[in-house]
């Protein structure tokens, strides 16, 4: 409960949280002043600036040195976020991945005849700066090097004019050859090389364009693919049907990356009989690729072209992700669309909007995360005790309300319900997702006393949409309902094993937590199904696998927050097993960490160097289960206090976000700050209520 005192002219002057014993004072006398951004997608963060009196957060009534340290850490982090909020109300930080995204940007522009020597020099400098000592480029920090990533970086550097006899290129070539050469690389790498006549199209797995003609009632159809696979595979199927071959100059060719001759047969190994069967089907599809039924092929290409055009956003985006955007433009290019066509012009601008050019170098991101960053940051402020009336929170909330998706999308194929979710990006109206929506709903619920226009109707529509997305297993997936045809991960095209969007513990936990806030209890039929889903997927040691964050720490945190939030007893044996697992995996420095390699080797679950984000997840998992006074929690809080920088932020070079398990990881630059702020805020809330101190 918030009691307001002091001058009410303009905005709140002093706010006391009665439950937390007078935690924060908010000075609000002058209007917010910050740099006006001219574009909604201005991706350079606002310059840090002195805070105005209306923007500061001042802790008061601190009874002990331990409390003072925590409050100071919270204040410093809050001030960092106050200084970096965009004028429209959102927060956005870089979403960093491996260098293939930037390497493919070079290839993409080369194919379109948009080669820019000046930009290429910047990109080359960026790529070379990220090369490791052994000559490779990594999927994530410390992985020792990844073959496909290195092949693409090498080829991009050669296209950009880098001397193949330079020391960096020779080291890269040596790494590639030692690890099997181009033939051992992933399917998408081979497709890029085939576009440049550097790989044989006949050896690229098929994705028949005729698949788009199959109705949703068929066992195999494009709507059984995950959102990210569907939005990429449809345009790519046109490219694979056309099989373009760019006449690459000899100086840019890469025959040196093939340890065997082009005609030499490479023996295929199969992981299972199912893989063998699908490989046989792929050979049949290859025959029809070379000998198509013309009328059927033409009808399929027309249908795929229409699908692409129908799925382009007004801003030019497709699916809000780089693969869908790049392949859609390439497909239309090979169908004869000129670059100045409105569809192409908007698409090319959307590609450029994903790029960053600063002191770190010129690079492209795989995706943008403003809705996710804004909801998480606002929630962290609220956890830290900042009242809903704070002007920065009101601006963030108003921005989130404006960005609710109120139009239909592919999700309606299996769930013909009214819209109401939120997407991850600035623009992605066809693909809202449950994970973002659940966090936004938690934020809006906590902001409901702010008086923001439309908040109640946004909450009502959002929760109704999220509930309708519950799958038949009882769990929630990210983008689609009952997208569970996991056999698709066995087709030769799917070597990244990411063709479906099945329900997961982390998204289900997030939804249960939101439901608990909204007044649902464990006896509600949807809650019962969700709880059963989580119980069925808990592993023998008590942990849960994490789909969208690394990995068991993330999954276990999300599941526990949801289970306790919906009313499960924290003392229940299965929950205590998870608590025990979290405690067991604390590092000696007081933090928690987990390597991305735990997806490949579950024996590494919960193991890795400590990171601020993973430490915060572990702390919040323990706190929600009542472990406030445990030595593990105290040590974890000390780790966060000890590692915070003077400017209120934390350093984190590790990748703790997951795109595709085993194959694509993300370093969210916001995670290292927003999650520690959340955890410290939750801990301080308990201290204030219990009058604890050291």
d(CA 99, CA 149): 7
Question: Residue 261 has which token pair?
Answer: 């001759």
Give 180-200 pLDDT, tens digit per residue: 999 999 999 999 999 999 999
Nearest residue to 107 via CA among 199, 242, 176, 238: 199
- Whether residue 23 is predicted with pLDDT greater than 80 in this model: the reply is no
Please determine, for residue 473, whether its predicted confidence score (pLDDT) is greater than 90: yes
Q: Within a 10 A sphere around the Cβ of 538, how many other Cβ atoms?
A: 21
Structure-block tokens of residue 645: 């920088």
Q: What percent of the chain clears pLDDT 70, i.e. is strictly above it? A: 86
Report pLDDT digits (tens) over 83-110.
Answer: 999 999 999 999 999 999 999 999 999 9
Q: Please tell me the predicted confidence (pLDDT) of residue 39.
A: 31
For position 390, what pLDDT does the model report?
Answer: 95
pLDDT greater at residue 280 or residue 207: 207
670 three-state secondary structure? coil
The helix or strand, by DSSP H or E, that contains position 25, with its residue range, turns out to be strand 24-26
pLDDT tens digits, one per residue of 266-314: 445 545 555 555 565 666 666 667 777 889 999 999 999 999 999 999 9
User: Using a CB cutoff of 8 Å and minimum separation of 24, what contacts does 32-41 make?
Assistant: 32/391, 32/392, 32/395, 34/85, 34/87, 35/87, 36/87, 37/86, 37/87, 37/88, 40/88, 40/426, 41/315, 41/353, 41/368, 41/426
Taking residues 645-653, report their average pLDDT: 96
Which is higher by pLDDT, 264 or 311? Answer: 311
Reduce the DSSP state of residue 335 to 3 states and report it: coil
User: What phi and psi values does residue 303 have, to the nearest 5 degrees?
Assistant: -65, -40
pLDDT tens figures, 587-613: 999 999 999 999 999 999 999 999 999
- Tokens standing for 279? 């490989």
DSSP secondary structure letters along 586-613: --TTS-----GGGGT-GGGTT-SS--HH
Active site residue 27: no
Domain range annotation of the chain: 2-84, 98-260+290-364
What one-character-per-residue DSSP string does 113-175 give?
A: T---HHHHHHHHHHHHHT--TTS-B-SSTTS--BHHHHHHHHHHHHHTT--TTSHHHHHHHHH
pLDDT of residue 453 exceeding 80, the answer is: yes
pLDDT of the residue at 515: 98
Predicted local distance difference test score (pLDDT) of residue 383: 96
The pLDDT of residue 73 is above 90: yes
Q: Which of 373, 433, 435, 436 is catalytic?
A: 435
- Classify burial at 297, counting beta carbons within 10 Å of its beta carbon; exposed 0-12, middle 13-18, buried 19 or more: middle
Q: Say yes or no to pLDDT of 49 above 90.
A: no
CA-to-CA distance for 145 and 379, rounded, in angstroms? 36
Contact 164, 256 (CB under 8 A): yes
Q: Name which residue leads in pLDDT, 17 or 113.
A: 113
- Tokens matching residue 345: 């012009």
Assign residue 320 a region (left: φ > 0; alpha: ψ between -120 and 50; beta: otherwise): left
CA distance 103 to 293: 36
Angle at 37 between CA 33 and CA 38, to 5 degrees: 140
Distance of CA 350 to the CA centre of its chain: 18
Looking at every residue in the chain, the average pLDDT score rounds to 88
Distance in angstroms (rounded) separating the CA atoms of residues 294 and 29: 72
Residue 99 confidence (pLDDT): 97
Check whether 655 has a pLDDT greater than 50.
yes
Kindly provide the b/e burial profile for residues 442-475, where b requires at least 16 CB atoms within 10 angstroms of the residue's own CB.
bbbbbbeebebeebeebbebbbebbbbbbbebbb
Residues 6+ apart with CB under 8 A from 511: 434, 438, 466, 470, 476, 530, 562
pLDDT, position 493: 79
Top-level CATH class of 98-260+290-364? mainly alpha
Compare 66 and 226 and report the one with higher pLDDT. Answer: 226
Phi/psi region, residue 61 (left: phi>0; alpha: psi -120 to 50; beta: rest), is left
> What is the structure's pLDDT at 264?
47
pLDDT in tens, 115-140: 889 999 999 999 999 999 999 999 99
The two three-digit tokens of residue 571, written as one number: 């003392």
What is the 8-class DSSP label of residue 680? H
């Amino acid at each position: 409960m918030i009691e307001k005192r002091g001058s009410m002219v303009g905005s709140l002057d002093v706010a006391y949280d009665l439950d937390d014993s007078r935690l924060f004072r908010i000075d609000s006398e002058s209007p917010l002043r910050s740099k006006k951004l001219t574009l909604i997608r201005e991706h350079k963060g606002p310059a840090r600036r002195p805070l105005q009196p209306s923007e500061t957060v001042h802790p008061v009534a601190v009874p002990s040195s331990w409390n003072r340290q925590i409050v100071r850490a919270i204040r410093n982090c809050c001030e960092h976020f106050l200084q970096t909020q965009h004028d429209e109300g959102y927060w956005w930080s870089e979403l960093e991945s491996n260098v293939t995204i930037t390497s493919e940007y070079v290839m993409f522009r080369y194919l379109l005849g948009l080669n820019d020597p000046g930009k290429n020099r910047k990109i080359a400098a960026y790529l070379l700066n990220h090369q490791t000592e052994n000559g490779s480029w990594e999927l994530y920090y410390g992985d020792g090097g990844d073959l496909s990533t290195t092949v693409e970086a090498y080829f991009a550097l050669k296209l950009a004019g880098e001397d193949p006899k330079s020391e960096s290129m020779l080291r890269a070539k040596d790494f590639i050859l030692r690890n099997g050469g181009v033939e051992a690389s992933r399917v998408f790498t081979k497709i890029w090389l085939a576009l440049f006549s550097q790989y044989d199209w006949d050896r690229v797995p098929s994705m028949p364009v005729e698949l788009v003609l199959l109705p949703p009632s068929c066992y195999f159809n494009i709507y059984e693919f995950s959102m990210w696979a569907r939005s990429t595979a449809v345009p790519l199927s046109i490219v694979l049907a056309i099989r373009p071959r760019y006449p690459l100059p000899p100086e840019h060719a890469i025959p040196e990356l093939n340890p065997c001759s082009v005609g030499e047969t490479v023996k295929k190994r199969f992981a299972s009989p199912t893989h063998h069967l699908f490989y046989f089907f792929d050979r049949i599809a290859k025959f029809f690729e070379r000998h198509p039924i013309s009328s059927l092929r033409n009808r399929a290409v027309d249908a795929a072209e229409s699908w692409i055009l129908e799925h382009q956003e007004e801003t030019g985006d497709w699916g809000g992700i780089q693969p869908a955007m790049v392949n859609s433009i390439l497909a239309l290019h090979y169908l004869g669309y000129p670059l100045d066509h409105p569809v192409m012009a908007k698409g090319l601008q959307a590609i450029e909007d994903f790029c960053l050019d600063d002191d770190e170098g010129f690079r492209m991101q795989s995706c943008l995360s403003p809705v996710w960053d804004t909801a998480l940051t606002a929630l962290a402020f609220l956890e830290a005790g900042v009242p809903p009336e704070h002007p920065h929170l009101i601006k963030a909330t108003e921005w989130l309300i404006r960005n609710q998706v109120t139009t239909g999308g592919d999700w309606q194929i299996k769930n013909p319900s009214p819209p109401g979710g939120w997407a991850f990006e600035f623009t992605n109206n066809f693909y809202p997702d449950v994970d973002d929506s659940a966090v936004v709903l938690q934020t809006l619920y906590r902001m409901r006393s702010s008086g923001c226009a439309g908040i109640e109707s946004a909450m009502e529509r959002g929760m109704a949409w999220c509930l309708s997305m519950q799958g038949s297993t009882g769990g929630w997936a990210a983008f689609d309902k009952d997208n569970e045809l996991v056999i698709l991960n066995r087709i030769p095209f799917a070597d990244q094993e990411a063709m479906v969007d099945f329900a997961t513990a982390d998204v289900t936990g997030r939804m249960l937590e939101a439901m608990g806030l909204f007044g649902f209890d464990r006896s509600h039929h949807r809650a019962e199904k969700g709880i059963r889903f989580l119980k069925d997927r808990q592993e023998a040691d008590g942990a849960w696998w994490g789909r969208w964050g690394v990995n068991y720490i993330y999954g276990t945190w999300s599941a526990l927050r949801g289970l306790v939030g919906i009313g499960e007893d924290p003392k229940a044996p299965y929950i205590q097993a998870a608590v025990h697992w979290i405690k067991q995996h604390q590092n000696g420095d007081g933090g928690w960490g987990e390597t991305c390699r735990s997806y490949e080797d579950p024996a590494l679950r919960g193991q890795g160097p400590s990171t601020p984000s993973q430490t915060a997840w572990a702390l919040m998992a323990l706190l929600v289960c009542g472990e406030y006074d445990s030595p593990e929690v105290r040590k974890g809080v000390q780790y966060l206090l000890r590692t915070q920088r003077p400017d209120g932020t934390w350093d984190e070079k590790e990748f703790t976000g997951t795109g595709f398990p085993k194959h694509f990881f993300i370093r969210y630059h916001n995670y290292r700050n927003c999650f520690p702020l959340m955890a410290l805020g939750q801990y301080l809330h308990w201290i204030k209520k219990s009058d604890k101190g050291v």
